A and B are shown apart, each in its own frame.
Chain A
């Protein structure tokens, strides 16, 4: 069994809590998770840790999303570093990586798995 399957899925919010083309933040246990709602992309929701490890504040859900050379990213609102929505890796400093969460929609419910 993979680690993912060991984790329980937890419903964190409804689809209409999300903002199209942008992010919101949910609390999962003690973790802050940023959810980006991008209908039309491969996966319509992407979930990353909300903490910006460079600016050291919980703000990534408030960054602008877009793409750099086709790769989906969020730009930190503090100092504008880009983090890949797929992998959590920082484009400017690939040594830095933020947690990525498994996420899925069940009806109108948004479910999160483990990082």
Chain B
């Protein structure tokens, strides 16, 4: 039997979440995804951030590369046009045919445009996709006035966008109030007042009759009551309609007002077709929020993985900031339930409105509305979701604090309480992950994904974490390991202030036990940053990670790689030949690295010294590929050869690499220098990157490739050579002093209180008064540099350790190579058994 072919139509937020969940479930399904939009999934919820400067790349949540790595077959820009259920295949607009065993429809919804004459004018737009945003931005350029049709959640968000684009903004709503779905009348009028205070014109109860050419503006809207409004552009945001055309044509059941009918398993009326997200109609309703869509995605993925899972509806409570106004709606905001009681608090001066809806006996919360002040939202939501008994006087929950407001602390929540609804993370999940050793917000987020969706649960998450840590008697423990009750920064300062020069001394004064593989290398790195002794000095030797210990990187079979420094990636033919000759002589596997140099693999411990002797003789130095140290400064050819280059980027890259080589740091450091803004050296993905300008150099900091890429931030512009080096000196030393163990500059910068502005103050304005000290320390490191391999080769005592057996010259019988593409590679376990058996 072949693998089950799963075909996903639609690559929106829910479609993406489905792919991710299914891939993580490690089924052996063969997955194909077809998306109509030209780009992989992005964060639609934060679409409006585009106007606040986020780029489409920032919004992306899926990427072609990611899907490739997940082993998916992904196609974009060619929508599915037809489902042939009998043949179990779909056909795209471009005529391509895809077969399936299981079909998952995740086609989302489209904006509803009321059938008003003239609504197809080219200045009438919608607000749903990244392409829509581009259109809105383009049209807004020549416009003075903009109208949003629709005063719901999305309409108001769109109004904010138009306002930020500098337009005179109007909201035209058919219903008598704003956000009628979520808010009651009181909340709605408070919201209206607040929005009008911001200068947005609100017109409610308006029925648009026609749109035609205007006089003062491009367009004129005429309303049923005879009034008119001129505007340069109109954005329709009058609700969404499920994208169910495919299902309709294929004669699957759809709802009266649209939506593909699904059951508890998210199955449609054809048992090999599922529908999830905003296109699905469950229990007579469309869930227009991401969280319920994610739940549906998980339900289907679980079934494909052979598990039972049911979708049981979802909570539609929301908390938003609309035009800077906090709005929250929980459960039944209208108090429609039988005998429900309402409590309302309205403060005209503070412009805040709060309402509670409870059961007739006042014991349970049924719903709530908050406008202007959402500080009670988290507490109320938990009362609602977990059916926690209300205090005797429920109104105390919304009355202004008089000192003894009953606050529902996170401690009072049951462990089933949902903390993050985007990712369905309960209090129990988070507590479990803290039990398993996560003690930082970042770790908890990484482990559970809580807080990485809409961000609405961030405050509660933080409280929960701190609460739990305090309950465990850990005053937010940041100790590096069980041997030192200090952070890396703390140890650094202790060593510096007390002039401590060895691990043993530090352990004796400030630690306990004997140390471990965490604190030993960390202290070794601190010692190196501070004093720059040779890392194989007797007192540091046993501390080093094995890579540092043998000045080479251990590979999977226990052999090592050899990486000579090739500063800036510039190398003479003679040196290339020398490397080739060494590799040839010792039969090493050679590969060009991602860092513009050459890596030689497969050297045994015994061979390392002689290989390095030959390399040193040919003029090479160690490349520190094994150390938490400066790796490479990548360069592009720059003004020397390139017709666009404006500065000598190669020269600068070599100078920087030679200056900082050997600098030990909390983690490795990489850099790049580009000769012009085309950025061929990818400097913006480096810990510090330099880009040439007509007037000098722009300095970027905090970039990272690797596991979690981060674009570097522009730190300072148009620097001359000398200032550039001075800033980098200070920047690096400040990082070395204050970062955590194994924290790259990107994460360090993200966690630095005050961020890049603070960093600028320290480095450029010397706000801490330590600039001279940082420079001095860097000067010491630069002046005491020595190639570690060269010193090692000169010391027979140190060389003694480069033997596999201290009592024999035999090689390690576990190292077995196989020939592939004319070079060696480690034998796989089964190959090794075979080869060794033959040799015996």
Please, which residues of chain B bring their CB within 8 A of the CB of A19?
A: 541-542, 801
Q: With contacts A57-B557, A59-B558, A70-B513 known, is A65 near B542, CB below 8 A?
A: yes
Per-residue CB proximity of A54-85 to B under 8 Å, as 1/0? 01111100111111111011010110100000
- Asked if residues A58 and B542 are in contact (CB atoms below 8 Å), the reply is no
CA distance A65 to B482 in the complex (A): 14
- Asked if residues A66 and B515 are in contact (CB atoms below 8 Å), the reply is yes
Per-residue CB proximity of A36-53 to B under 8 Å, as 1/0? 000000000000000100
CB distance from A18 to the nearest CB of B (A): 8
27 A-B pairs, CB-CB below 8 angstroms?
A17-B806, A17-B807, A18-B806, A19-B541, A20-B538, A25-B806, A26-B807, A27-B808, A27-B810, A32-B812, A58-B804, A58-B812, A58-B815, A62-B549, A62-B558, A63-B517, A64-B516, A64-B542, A65-B514, A66-B513, A66-B516, A66-B517, A66-B520, A69-B482, A77-B545, A77-B547, A78-B556
Q: With contacts A21-B541, A62-B554, A78-B554 known, is A67 near B806, CB below 8 A?
A: no
Please, which residues of chain B bring their CB within 8 A of the CB of A70?
A: 513
Please, which residues of chain B bring their CB within 8 A of the CB of A75?
A: 516-517
Please, which residues of chain A bring their CB within 8 A of the CB of B519?
A: 66
Please, which residues of chain A bring their CB within 8 A of the CB of B94?
A: none
CB distance from B833 to the nearest CB of A (A): 11
CA distance A19 to B513 in the complex (A): 20
CA distance A67 to B554 in the complex (A): 23
CA distance A59 to B604 in the complex (A): 12
Among A32, A66, A68, A80, max chain B CB count under 10 A is at: A66
- Asked if residues A58 and B558 are in contact (CB atoms below 8 Å), the reply is yes
CA distance A9 to B521 in the complex (A): 36
CA distance A58 to B545 in the complex (A): 16
Q: With contacts A22-B541, A32-B805 known, is A68 near B554, CB below 8 A?
A: no
CB distance from B816 to the nearest CB of A (A): 11
Indicate which residue in A24, A55, A64, A66 contacts B801 across the interface (CB closer than 8 Å). Answer: A24
Task: Flag whether A7 is at the interface (Cβ < 8 A).
Answer: no
Please, which residues of chain B bring their CB within 8 A of the CB of A30?
A: 813
Task: Flag whether B473 is at the interface (Cβ < 8 A).
Answer: no
Q: With contacts A26-B805, A27-B808, A32-B805 known, is A67 near B514, CB below 8 A?
A: yes
Residue of B nearest to A11 (CB): B807
Question: Known pairs A57-B814, A66-B516, A69-B482. 4 more at Cβ < 8 A?
Answer: A25-B805, A27-B810, A62-B546, A64-B545
- Asked if residues A13 and B807 are in contact (CB atoms below 8 Å), the reply is yes
Residue of A nearest to B557 (CB): A57
Please, which residues of chain B bring their CB within 8 A of the CB of A18?
A: 806
CA distance A78 to B553 in the complex (A): 10
Please, which residues of chain B bring their CB within 8 A of the CB of A78?
A: 554, 556
CA distance A20 to B513 in the complex (A): 17
CA distance A12 to B807 in the complex (A): 6
CB distance from A94 to the nearest CB of B (A): 18
- Asked if residues B807 and A21 are in contact (CB atoms below 8 Å), the reply is no
- Asked if residues A25 and B804 are in contact (CB atoms below 8 Å), the reply is yes
CB distance from A41 to the nearest CB of B (A): 8
Among A12, A58, A69, max chain B CB count under 10 A is at: A58
Closest A-B pairs by Cβ, 6 of them? A21-B542, A66-B516, A77-B546, A75-B517, A57-B558, A64-B517
B interface vs A, CB < 8 Å?
482-483, 513-517, 519-521, 538, 541-547, 549-550, 554, 556-558, 800-801, 803-808, 810, 812-815, 829
- Asked if residues A77 and B805 are in contact (CB atoms below 8 Å), the reply is no
Q: With contacts A26-B805, A77-B546 known, is A67 near B513, CB below 8 A?
A: yes
CB distance from B70 to the nearest CB of A (A): 24
Please, which residues of chain B bring their CB within 8 A of the CB of A22?
A: 541-542, 549
Residue of B nearest to A38 (CB): B514
CA distance A81 to B829 in the complex (A): 20
CA distance A67 to B517 in the complex (A): 9
CB distance from A11 to the nearest CB of B (A): 9
Residue of A nearest to B805 (CB): A27
CB distance from B823 to the nearest CB of A (A): 20
Residue of B nearest to A72 (CB): B514
- Asked if residues B814 and A58 are in contact (CB atoms below 8 Å), the reply is yes
Residue of A nearest to B538 (CB): A20
CA distance A66 to B515 in the complex (A): 5
Please, which residues of chain A bring their CB within 8 A of the CB of B803?
A: 24
CB distance from B124 to the nearest CB of A (A): 60
Residue of B nearest to A51 (CB): B814
Please, which residues of chain A bring their CB within 8 A of the CB of B806?
A: 13, 17-18, 24-26
CB distance from A34 to the nearest CB of B (A): 11
Residue of B nearest to A23 (CB): B542
CA distance A107 to B515 in the complex (A): 29
CB distance from A75 to the nearest CB of B (A): 4
CA distance A75 to B518 in the complex (A): 10
Among A13, A30, A57, A65, max chain B CB count under 10 A is at: A57
Please, which residues of chain A bring their CB within 8 A of the CB of B547?
A: 77
Please, which residues of chain A bring their CB within 8 A of the CB of B805?
A: 25-27, 32
Indicate which residue in B516, B541, B542, B546 contacts A68 across the interface (CB closer than 8 Å). Answer: B516
Please, which residues of chain B bring their CB within 8 A of the CB of A21?
A: 541-542
